Structures are given as C-alpha cells and as structure tokens.
Structure 1
C-alpha cells in the first residue's frame, strides 16, 4: 500500500500543477512516506470519455486511491475550476475512495485572479467524495520553473507555503493513522 497518491489532473504530461504536486510528494517522501503518482494522462481517453467504470486501469487506480492514507489532488485552473478530465476521472472512482483521507489540493493558474478556485471548485469536489481537504496551495504559473525538477517552486514565499501545507498534510495523515491503529 502506498501512503500518498498524487492525482494529477492536467491533460499536459509536464504541467506546472503536476510539478508542484510532485514537489509536495517529494517533501513527503523525504519524511519517510511512500508516494505514487496517478495522472489523467495514464488512462485511455476512451475510458474517461465513455465512463468505463470497468476499465482495468480505472479499477486499479481506484484501489490504489482507496488504499492510500492521503491524497494530493492537483489541477491547473480551466474556466475558473479544475480540469474536465480530472472530473471525468474522479467520477469513475468508488464513491468512498477519499473517505477519511486528508487531501492536499494544489492548483496553478496564470494570475492571482483564480486564487479562489481551490475554495469554490476543488475543495467542494473533494468534500463531496468524503475527503478531508486541507487549506491547499494556489501557485501562479510564473512561480514555477519547469526546468528545475528538483526545486520547481521558484518563488520563496510560495515555496514556504507549499512546505507548510505539506507538513500539515503529513501531520494529518499521521494523526489519522494513529487514530485508526487505536480502534
């Protein structure tokens, strides 16, 4: 079982939102947690568009997500919300796949104008899937250096925010795991 699943909702194979989410995953891995990425680009487009719930890749992703202790969900902002392809994937997951899991939402956009997309679009979706969304991190595109895969968050203040949110996410995972061990 993987501790953290990073769900990348960008249709681009090398997107800024994916880099930011993988950076948060790297920070978690440095604290001893196992991390696996699932990207919307991993699936056949037909599986997502035609809602093939029985697709082996979709079923496997659902099992991995269901077994994880925490999730990082990342998306670029498209039309003031998350991507449609991310929604298509999440619609195919088991209804309780996010249940009782801390979820770190990460979104990227071209300007601060879409900062509230996390609160008004992504967090309600996570809550509907029974996840426990944390505050989350919004990053402007110009704060991400696509050339530096080890440290893609180029802005110091933004890097500090993603570090703080990732640490809170890890603490939430450890609290949930400790509480479930007591039961």
Structure 2
C-alpha cells in the first residue's frame, strides 16, 4: 500500500483541523496504507520562520513530504486563505516537492463564505509545488467537528458520508498513481 503523510496546519493545541486530518488518516490506516502524521505546530518556530532546512526537525519534515506517495493537507481557513503556518512550511519545500504525489486538500472554517478557499488559494500553491494529481478537496464547517468530547469527530451523518466519499476518491487515486510506480519498482 501507499505511504501517506497527513500535514495538519493549525496553530491551535486543540484543533478541529487536526482532528479532521487525523480522522482521515485513521481511515487510510484502516484501508491498509502506511500513514504518518505531521502537526506543523510542533516544528520549532525559530527554525521554521528562519527557513532553516538544516535544523533536524525541519529537515525530517521536508524528507517526510518527499518520501510520501500521497499527502493530505489539512488547514484552517483564516480570512479566506489557508493558515500562515502552512504557508511558511510550503515555502521550505523544494520547487517540485509534490510532483508525482496524490494530494488531498482539507479545510475547516467557521462560515460557508470560506467554501472556495481550497480552489482559489490553496490549490494554486499545491500546483506550483508540482502537484498534478490533486483530488477533490473538502471544506468542513467547524460546527460539524467535535474535537473535544471523545465521541465521533464528525458530528453529523452527512459530514461523515461526505468525508468518506472524499477519502475513497483519494484512496482510488493513490491506487492508480502509486500502484503502477510500485509495480515498476518491484520488477526492476
């Protein structure tokens, strides 16, 4: 199965965005994928802001992106755009870091006014990093995410079904993109 990196880009310690990213990652684990999680807020701020790619934690984070077959990018939407934390991290990546990878953008926000932020602000940056296979992203309203009670993360059935369809499309794309690459590598 494919190796997937789930990037969560919320600066909050208790984060709906992180809960959503971990929910999708856990679903991918159940489907047999090797899933790693990278909560960007845990990276050392000084090294991150100074773009110090020689710092061990930053270097390891960049290498995790490069090694993955698929990347789930989960971000809160603030002022109609993805988080500054995500922007700082994406700026550290090599120009073609997402080339050949399947990418799933996920976003959370407090109002449907941010619904198109994935397509208008995040997708162009992902494309500039070489992503040519970006599956349909999903925006989830904060009110539909329960990140504190210990119950289901997705509070209502329609949101659970929507995220399940989104994750299924990502898994299918991983199979189509990562499967042939693994097959060729095995025959070499």
TM > 0.5:
yes
> Per-residue deviation at 1:13?
2.2
- How many Å separate the matches in 2 of 1:118 and 1:109? 11
Runs of at least 4 residues off by over 6 Å: none
TM-superposition CA deviations, 1:56-80 (whole Å, max 9, x none): 1111111111111101001100110
Q: TM-score when scaled to structure 1? A: 0.94
5+ residue gaps, structure 1, are none
Distance change (3 Å), C-alpha of 1:148 and 1:166: farther
Q: Deviations over 1:71-113 (max 9, x none)?
A: 1001100110001111101111222221111111000000111
- Over the aligned positions, Cα root-mean-square deviation in angstroms equals 1.6
Distance 1:45 1:178 in 2: 36
Q: CA deviation at 1:129?
A: 0.9
Indicate if the aligned counterparts of 1:2 and 1:67 stay in contact, CA closer than 8 A: no
Q: Distance in 2 between matches of 1:70 and 1:149?
A: 28
User: 1:1-183 alignment to 2 at 5 Å?
Assistant: 3-131=3-131, 132-149=133-150, 151-183=152-184
SS at match of 2:78: coil
Residue pair 1:6, 1:71 contacting (<8 A) in 2 also: yes
Q: TM-score, normalised by structure 2?
A: 0.92
Aligned residues: 183
